[in-house]
Amino acid sequence: MSYKINYTANFSFVVLATMLSLLFLIACGRPSSAEEVRQTQKTLAVRGHAVITAVPTIAYVRIGVVTFNKDAVKSQSENAEKMGMVYKALARTGIAKDKIKTVSYSIYPKYDYKGNTALLTGYNVTNVISVTVTDLAKVGRVLDTAVEYGVNEANSINFGITESENEKIYLQALAQAVADAKSKADTIEAAAGIKLDAPNEIAEDSSAQISPFRYAVSDMASLAKAERTPTAVFGGEINVEASVTVIYNYSLRQ
């Protein structure tokens, strides 16, 4: 019996298999078009910043009454009586009840230490309130009135602006921050000899947070003993800041 071998068919099969293998190796070894873009894409990141100065329109006056008595109940009672007088005095200056809130209330025992022995001498009662003053011309009067009617402790006065005012000014600062970033990018473009595309990403790095100006008031006792001269308090200025990061694609100029 004789067999006839089809050499043509075998040769064609070998050629086809070789070509398929080469195509497979090329496909595996060469990155996709998307990968090529990522590898060759050039980006420029710039940061824009802006600050707008605003005049304060609101003040938060933090004041308190501290009383001491050997008996805790009596110390509390005395504190409540003095605070009642302060509330009435503040009302006469035009401060509404909803503009006054308690921020801390505490009762602490006070000891007299002699050697290793601690003797209880009485109780300190501290009641601290925050007074919101929307008419800044009244801030000094509020302080003077509070001292006159029993306030003997104060922490600070914080000057600021309302949330709506802050949001409006912040948006203006945000626009200026974007313009600042573009100005920097244009400068780099001209100096580096590149061509910028439109921004492909803009990130807001800041938020519309109010940073009030703090005015320290540490010694109310000395204010009470001072001559009856109206207290002068100035609100200073508030800075509203905004920051952005802008990322551009760019190419080399021909």
Q: What is the pLDDT of residues 61-81, one digit of tens each?
A: 999 999 999 999 999 999 999
DSSP 8-state code for residue 138: G
In a domain, 9, yes or no: no
Confirm whether 194 is domain-assigned: no
CA angle 62, 66, 72 (to 5 degrees): 140
Q: What is the pLDDT at residue 214? A: 66
178 found inside a domain: no
**Assigned domain for 182 exists:** no
Percent of the chain residues past pLDDT 90, beyond the cut: 57
Residue 142's DSSP bridge partners are: none
Residue 180 lies in a domain: no
Residue 13 lies in a domain: no
Domain count, the chain: 1
Which position has the higher pLDDT, 100 or 235? 100
Closest CA to 140 of 215, 80, 54: 215
Q: Which two tokens stand for residue 240?
A: 């509203």
